[in-house]
Amino acid sequence: MTNGNKSQNNYILDKYVKYQLPKLKTVDESDLNSMFEGFSVKKLVKNSKMTETELIETFRLSMITESLTEQYAETFIKGALDNNAIWLSNYIENFWVPDELGHMDPFKNVLIDLGYTESDLSKQITSAREETNYLESHSTEITPIGLTTYGMVQECITDYWYELQLDFFPKGSGTRKAISKVKGREALHTVQFRDLTAIQLENDPSLLMPILETIINFKMPSNHINKVKEIEQKSQSLIPKMNGEVLELIRRIISHTQLVLNDTEKIGQLFALYGTQQDKKLVKFIPNTTLFSLFKYLSGGYGLVGEIILENIGLYANEPESLESNYERWRYRIKRSIKNWINDQFELKEIFKK
């Protein structure tokens, strides 16, 4: 990218961030005060497959993870300043941090309502902060594109997690309302990080690989917090017990990723990388190395995988193809045959198993 293009890109990113700043909205004190409603854990888990202990642990995971906002911010700001991305430090310092700082309290209040003492929770929070050096353990590149991509995935996962948690509380309750407000902010942050990633990629196509690698190597921050690491490692198995679906979460992440990439070929590349690095076979009976070597000889091979992925999770509508010439009709029939065969052998659920 030339200096002129970089300046233009930074101008667009800076303008986007300034447009977002007035949307800052913290959790109201009145919302927090309305939360102590004397809920029984036994009643809360009645219509789920969760145990009482598991539900409490999900809220402890949320509270402790949210308590390290300043450490996450330190990581983002370092990446921004090291790369002269003033727009990113502006977003983090003047929007994301003040917005996020109020997200811990609703989960702390839930735990107090369910029997924890405030002093015990404060000790857990202090201990988690003292034992964690998030800057050293962050799992992906500390660059603007790596950080905004990471932020998109992290906020998308958190948004879905809180959506599942709030459904344990009755409609109209203060607790449900407070968690719902936090969930809404996570959804907004997802879109903001997604847009910042898309703007960067649009102006510099060479950023594609860092985006893909960030998604492939993504780990939630709680993987690096000893106090809740064990709960985080069980989170995927807890989602069905919370009346959610892992595939729905994946669908949401891919949906946002598709809006950034805007290209089925690139989605196919993403899964090729994921399958290779995570040792996940995409198609039954065929090693990934063999499958991907075949794509070198098949026009649009990765795009084919991208189409299949998106179709399997309900995100793809076939683009009309020109079938005017005999060649185009012949090519289309072969493509459909190959696609149908791959689709029949495709192991979508196996790909996302831990």
The residues that bridge with 346 in the sheet, in sequence order, are: 283
Question: In a 3-state reduction of DSSP, which class is residue 283?
Answer: strand
Residue-averaged pLDDT of the chain = 86
Report the first-to-last Cα separation within the chain, whole angstroms. Answer: 38
Least Cα distance to 306 among 245, 257, 247 occurs for 257
pLDDT of residue 291: 62
List of residues 6+ apart from 67 with CB closer than 8 A = 104, 125, 128, 129
User: How far apart (Å, rounded) are the C-alpha atoms in residues 36 and 112?
Assistant: 8
What pLDDT shows up at residue 247? 85
Q: pTM score, two decimals? A: 0.86
Q: Is the Cβ–Cβ distance between 174 and 237 less than 8 Å?
A: no
Distance CA 75, CA 136 (A): 9
Planar angle of CA 5, 6, 12, nearest 5 degrees = 90
- The counts of H helices and E strands in the chain are 21, 0
pLDDT of res. 161: 98
- Name the β-bridge partners of 283: 346
Per-residue pLDDT for 43 more than 90? yes
Query: Is 263 in contact with 310 (CB distance < 8 Å)?
Result: no
pLDDT tops 80 at residue 221: yes
From CA 272, how far away is CA 282, in angstroms rounded?
Answer: 8
Under 8 Å between Cβ of 63 and 104: yes
Identity of the amino acid at 133? N
Tens of pLDDT, residue by residue over 164-204, are 999 999 999 999 999 999 999 999 999 999 999 999 999 99
Report which of residues 267 and 12 the model is more confident about. 12
Amino acid at position 105, single letter: D
pLDDT tens-digit map of 298-322: 556 667 677 777 777 777 645 555 5
275 has a pLDDT exceeding 80 = no
Element (H, E) at 199: helix 174-203
Written as six digits, the tokens of 233 are 């490692």
Which one is predicted more confidently, 214 or 279?
214
Count the residues in the chain: 354
- Tokens encoding 149: 């991509």
The answer to whether the CB of 121 falls within 8 A of the CB of 67 is no
Which residues touch 126 (CB under 8 Å, ≥6 apart)? none
- Using pLDDT thresholds of 50, 70 and 90, give the confidence band for residue 271: confident
CB 253 within 8 A of CB 153: yes
pLDDT band for 211, please (50, 70, 90 cuts): very high
Secondary structure percentages of the chain, helix, strand, coil, to 5: 75, 0, 25
